[in-house]
Amino acid sequence: MQPERSDTEIIVEYSAHPDARLYLRSEDGELHVWDLRSLGAIARAGGPSHEIAVIEPATRPVKLLIIEKGSGLRVAARVHVHGAHGEYLPPKGHHRKVNAGWFQDYAGELLNGLNQYAYVDGSCDIDLPLGTVFVEISRGFEVQPLGRMVEIAANTELVTFERDKVLHWREQGWVSADTHVHFLSPRTALLEGQAEGVNVVNLLALQCGEMFSNVADFDGRMTIGAKDFGGDGEFIVRVGTENRQQVLGHISLLGYEGEMIHPLSSGGSNEGAIGDPLETTLAEWAQRCREQGGLVVLPHSPNPQSERAADIVLGLIDAMEMKSFNPYASQISAFVLADWYRYLNIGYHVRLVAGSDKMNAAALLGGARTYAQLGARGFTYRNWMEAVRSGDTFITVGPLVNMTVEGKRPGSKIVLPPSGGTVNLDWRIESVSVRPTLVEVIRNGVVLERIPCENLSCRGNLAIQVKESSWLAIRVRGSVAGRDADIAAHTSAVHVEIGEKPIFAEADAVSVLAQIEGSIAYIDTLAPKTDEARHSRLRATLELAHHRLHELGAGHAHIPVHSVRVAREH
């Protein structure tokens, strides 16, 4: 919940000698003067409180302790405390004014609109005023958030908060992840993951022009928090890379082993350095990641739009990422989902994942996250990657979604005879705070059925007649901030094939072909290059994807593209 900003009141912090005076000029030009010694007496005597009120100073040292119900173990959490006048009261070691600047002040904090938060490991020291303070504690999508008024007395030393897990999807084999985090130290990323209930944090090194981040944190081996490296294995951080180009696009290379895949950026500014030539394609980066045992994700789809189409056609992409910096500002984009639908409609079974692309303190780690079903696998980073590759995932900003079609989970394929048939779709939704308002059954990118959801938990089933090859998924409406049209969750797809004839929508294929041709045109005309042999090799990768899609049956009038061997003026 966001506070309302007053148009008539401000909080003034000052440090001064007790005999000093406070001067304040009002909008009408009148000058008001107060002796600091008299301020408290004026407030106690019921003086002109419409003009000035004294805020009780935060001088009482208190320890806050957050424990898990049942075990009594200390647990990490995101904490907000404010006084009776709305003044933020940070734990010691945290900013009074959280800095949301890009690549600045990563102290384990969140600035969410007008609210400020600190991440703590289950215990913190804090100076509080006497009287009433408001405490807010949250720790993920399976623990009920807490908001409580607490009275602080002159002898208060310890306040303990017990938190109970009310949903148990982790115990059912689900693992949550943020596929896209930047700039944090690995230890801070682990703390924020623990506090937000994110089991897997993918911390990505990157290059921005002449700036490099997290490069020294990469070793191609260690998973921070894993049992093999001294952790409890329940919350882990792995450092990968986001390799980037301004036009051809970005690609996230997760969990690969061995040497870092260079260059981190190519093709000049803004991602690369000014004047850098185009040295590689996303396809080459993806292939190297695969060879080194990693998971290849297209981040913050669909932008940049260029080469990603070719890489999906070439089968080099494991998952497509939906991004939300902070769901309080914006949630899962319908535009982004429409782009994902396009690839499903031409037979490419791309898995769905989500991440925050956290680059400052206003971005919420795990605000949009991936849930992947481990099945019979134990929880390790390697097994998490395998779970994503299997396709049994959903993305969410709050509601948790389980879907099966004829008992088959997302990522599966069902084959029906040429005459088609009927399949049964079952779904279940649970949430602790973000209420699902509408459940939408999606077939081939179109809403097949809409079912209202009246509570935090709901379930249902639907018999669906299938006459042509299709894919099915569940989309959930609901909002963190009360916006009517927001999308709160989406499952990956179950594919239903009729008579062994895969789905293929030619109109979507033509759109993808146009994207590939645009990439070829960029390489031929605008891409900075120094080596014609390298240029021909990069171009050949995109031409291969173009030919493969044609072989599937996509026909269109070709947009003229340049040949490297034809002289031109530009």
- Rounded to two decimals, the pTM is 0.94
Q: Residue 491's pLDDT is what? A: 99
- Is the per-residue pLDDT at 305 higher than 80? no
Mean pLDDT for the stretch of residues 325-344: 96
Same domain flag for 324 and 429: no
CATH number at residue 72: 2.60.40.2190
Tell me the pLDDT of the chain averaged across its residues.
93
Residue 360: predicted pLDDT: 96
Residue 416 sits in a domain whose CATH number is 2.60.40.10
Identify whether residues 329 and 269 lie together within a single domain. Answer: yes
According to the model, what pLDDT value does residue 564 have? 45
Residue 177 has pLDDT above 80, yes or no: yes
Q: Which H, E and C letters describe 368-400, residue by residue?
A: CEEEEECCCCCCCHHHHHHHHHHCCEEEECCCE
Residues 203 and 313 in one domain: yes
Q: Give the residue numbers spanning the domain of 74.
A: 60-163
pLDDT at 267: 93
The domain boundary, picked from 34, 54, 74, lies at 54
- 295 and 173 within one domain: yes
Name the band, by pLDDT with cuts 50, 70 and 90, for residue 568: very low
SS3 of the chain: helix, strand, coil, percent, to 5: 20, 35, 50
Tell me which of 150-159, 305-314, 421-430 is least confident: 305-314
Domain boundary among 457, 483, 504: 504
pLDDT digit string, tens, across residues 526-546: 999 888 999 999 999 999 999
In sequence order, the 6+-apart residues with CB closer than 8 A to the CB of 559 are 514, 517, 518, 521
Q: How many CA atoms lie within 13 A of 415 on its CB side?
A: 4
306 vs 432, higher pLDDT: 432
141: CB partners within 8 A, 6+ apart:
167, 176, 197, 369, 396, 398, 400, 431, 432
Whether residue 548 is found in the same domain as residue 522: yes
Residues 75 and 148 in one domain: yes
Question: Is 374 in the same domain as 448?
Answer: no
CATH code where residue 197 lies = 3.20.20.140
Q: What is the mean pLDDT of residues 148-167?
A: 97
User: DSSP letters along 508-546, please?
Assistant: HHHHHHHHHHHHHHHHHHTS--S-HHHHHHHHHHHHHHH
More confident position, 2 or 506: 506
Express each pLDDT in 211-270 by its tens digit: 999 999 999 999 999 999 999 999 999 999 999 999 999 999 999 999 999 999 999 988
The reply to whether 466 and 444 lie within a common domain is yes
Quick: pLDDT tens for 117-142.
Answer: 999 999 999 999 999 999 999 999 99
Number of structural domains in the chain: 4
Asked whether residue 487 falls in the same domain as residue 522, the answer is no
> Which residues touch 113 (CB under 8 Å, ≥6 apart)?
2, 328
Let me know: does 458 contact 438? Beta carbons within 8 Å: no
| Mean per-residue pLDDT, 547-552 | 88
Handedness of CA 16, 18, 19, 21 (dihedral sign): positive
Give the pLDDT score at 570.
38
Q: Are residues 332 and 453 in the same domain?
A: no
Q: Do residue 23 and residue 139 come from a single domain?
A: no
Q: Are residues 418 and 452 in the same domain?
A: yes
Domain boundary among 114, 138, 163: 163
**Where do the DSSP E strands lie in 433-569?**
438-443, 446-452, 458-466, 470-477, 487-491, 494-498
What CA–CA distance (Å, rounded) separates 123 from 157? 13
Strand 60-68 and strand 158-163: the pairing is: parallel
- Look at 3 and 509; give whichever has higher pLDDT: 509
